[in-house]
Structure 1
Amino acid sequence: MDIGVKGRRAIVCGGSKGISRAAARRLSLEGAKVVLVARTPETLAETARSIMEESGVAVEYFATDLTLPSGRDALLDAYPATDILVANAGVPQTSLQYKDLTPDVWNWWMEAHFHSAMGLIYAYAPGMCERAFGRIVNISVSFIKFPQVSVGHSHAARLALAGAIASLVREIAPHNVTINSVLPGLINTDALHEAIRGMAEERGVSFETVEAELRSSNAANRIADPQEAGDLIAMLCAKQIGFMTGQNIVSDGGAYQGIF
């Protein structure tokens, strides 16, 4: 199926690795003019080269830190308009006890997961509305549906973003501009491997033991390939997905057992 993104600019944040890289790959294979955004120029360059070799479509990249206002401003100066935005600050999940959550820590996580996305959404959405096409996909995490211990700082910022998006979508939907969020569960990324190593070290068990426990935590009994989430993100950018907006779509192999 032609998803209608050929020739459209797609800015993919956190695009050098993991889920965002997979989304960028799929969008490029569909003919979109992808711009990868992340912190490390060397990783970005290698990712851009790899995707471009496969898709045959030029891939650009821009190195900046989207958790900083100055980093977001730099991106907006370089690319003031886009048709597609995949919002993702590229910040790995970190466990923190409640006693460690000082005001500065709360503020940093709000900057990373709330302001980083909303700053770009508010900057790009007006142009999308003027051109009567826009697809924004935010990458969140499935755990905001069932919050976990020691990651309240991350959940709070992501839930604030979900609330803000739920209000904003009603203003821009008449202009064929949508915002949806993908809430992935266990995805085979460097960030997950790092988290598993940390859990294994803390408990004094092997990496394989923790990995097996995590696999069994969902009905599919596996850890997903990043491309599974990347393809879902690309599909939400399709011209055909104009009537779905403001949704938080869980992709976690059945780990979340709620109905809504």
Structure 2
Amino acid sequence: MILIFGGGGQLGQELQRTAALKAMPYTAISHADVDISDTAAVSQALSAARPSIVVNAAAYTKVDLAEKDPDAARLGNEIGPGVIAAACAAAGTPLIHISTDYVFDGSKEGPYVETDPIAPLGVYGATKAAGEEAVRKAAPRHVILRTSWVFGAFGANFLKTMLRLARERDELRVVADQRGCPTSTGDIAGAILQIAPRLRSEVYGSEVYGLYHFAGAGSASWHEFASRIIDAQAPFTGRHPKVTAIATSDYPTPARRPANSVFDCGKFIRTFGFGPRPWTLETDAVVRELFAAD
């Protein structure tokens, strides 16, 4: 049994779908069901579900609003993960915790590896970094999975925003001086459910605990990502708005974004024997799914 916190989010919903397709039993809990910063509620959820593994896909993800509401970000990204980790440790249950590229400042030349020093630029990244540390301190049996630029069929994300704007506008102005690894929720969910048996194993578990980077294969700028989305949707809509490259300075936001969010996923590949799929193929697949559902 897999217990999923954050069941109402885009990754949580994808995890439920993927688990159902694999006939893997699961229980999904949304924020409306349990506040992950509530120690008693989290402990009760574990006692009721009696899971063999827990996935924390819950988070405060409003990057810009976090600058004005750091307390809410801290509850969702630091306090909550620490509570879940402590409950997992008490129950002897392995935990997979999802983190982010925002723990880095983006100043590195080249892809980030797990041993690179973190230096978050804003409240969101700082609280996610603190959440990682809370998990490390409370739950020895954990995997922290950092990912970046997440998109998928569920929830709100960049890909779905571009599809909406493609219907409404003849030109899209998209930042071209930030780079990352677009990562589909389907790819993340598949990876989580594939590594879960290793974490439960008494033989292999201790060998695979720790921090990993997992993000779509290949890298892109937001402009390149948007261009791929527009190309993928054109056969369905007959529309092909112009995608114009702009600088970060042309699109100011309350929270600073890392200029480089590219990940090296070599450690994950070496440990688990498989890696992420190309972001280009995942982008095309999600676009096809969304139009098939219309």
Question: What do the CA deviations read for 1:104-147 (whole angstroms, capped 9, x no partner)?
Answer: x333222110111110111122222xxxxx33111111222345
2:277 maps to none
Aligned-residue RMSD, C-alpha: 3.6
Name the SS of the counterpart of 2:102 in structure 1: helix
**For structure 2, which runs of at least 5 residues remain unmatched after alignment?**
108-118, 220-260, 268-294
Asked if the contact 1:114–1:161 (Cα under 8 Å) also holds between the matched residues in 2, the reply is yes
2:30 maps to 38
Tell me if 1:217 matches 2:179: yes
Tell me how far apart the structure 1 counterparts of residues 210 and 102 of structure 2 sit (CA, whole Å).
18
Tell me how far apart the structure 2 counterparts of residues 97 and 86 of structure 1 sit (CA, whole Å).
23
**Residue correspondences, number:** 199
Asked if the contact 2:88–2:95 (Cα under 8 Å) also holds between the matched residues in 1, the reply is no
Tell me if 1:229 matches 2:188: yes
Tell me if 1:135 matches 2:94: yes
Asked if the contact 1:13–1:38 (Cα under 8 Å) also holds between the matched residues in 2, the reply is yes
1:247 maps to 211
Corresponding residue to 2:13 among 21, 26, 29:
21
Change (3 A) 1:78 1:85: closer
Query: How far does residue 228 in structure 1 lie from its aligned partner after superposition?
Result: 0.5
Tell me how far apart the structure 1 counterparts of residues 146 and 84 of structure 2 sit (CA, whole Å).
19
Question: What do the CA deviations read for 1:188-230 (whole angstroms, capped 9, x no partner)?
Answer: 2433249957xx9xxxx878543x859x8347xxx44311011
2:54 maps to 85
Corresponding residue to 1:126 among 84, 90, 109:
90
2:148 maps to 185
2:122 maps to 152
Tell me if 1:76 matches 2:43: yes
Asked if the contact 1:38–1:90 (Cα under 8 Å) also holds between the matched residues in 2, the reply is no
Tell me how far apart the structure 2 counterparts of residues 206 and 184 of structure 1 sit (CA, whole Å).
32
Query: How far does residue 153 in structure 1 lie from its aligned partner after superposition?
Result: 1.0
Asked if the contact 2:78–2:134 (Cα under 8 Å) also holds between the matched residues in 1, the reply is no
Tell me how far apart the structure 1 counterparts of residues 27 and 128 of structure 2 sit (CA, whole Å).
24
Identity of aligned residues (%): 13
Name the SS of the counterpart of 2:131 in structure 1: helix
Tell me how far apart the structure 2 counterparts of residues 95 and 192 of structure 1 sit (CA, whole Å).
14
Tell me how far apart the structure 2 counterparts of residues 179 and 65 of structure 1 sit (CA, whole Å).
21
Tell me how far apart the structure 2 counterparts of residues 246 and 92 of structure 1 sit (CA, whole Å).
23
1:166 maps to 136
Change (3 A) 1:12 1:164: same
Query: How far does residue 244 in structure 1 lie from its aligned partner after superposition?
Result: 1.1
1:55 maps to none
Asked if the contact 1:88–1:117 (Cα under 8 Å) also holds between the matched residues in 2, the reply is no
Name the SS of the counterpart of 2:210 in structure 1: coil
Tell me how far apart the structure 1 counterparts of residues 22 and 161 of structure 2 sit (CA, whole Å).
34
Tell me how far apart the structure 1 counterparts of residues 78 and 46 of structure 2 sit (CA, whole Å).
21
Query: How far does residue 94 in structure 1 lie from its aligned partner after superposition?
Result: 2.3
Q: How high is the TM-score relative to the length of structure 2?
A: 0.55
Q: How high is the TM-score relative to the length of structure 1?
A: 0.61
Tell me how far apart the structure 2 counterparts of residues 74 and 257 of structure 1 sit (CA, whole Å).
37
Asked if the contact 1:14–1:37 (Cα under 8 Å) also holds between the matched residues in 2, the reply is yes
Name the SS of the counterpart of 2:63 in structure 1: coil
Asked if the contact 1:13–1:90 (Cα under 8 Å) also holds between the matched residues in 2, the reply is no
1:5-20 equivalences under 5 Å are 9-20=1-12
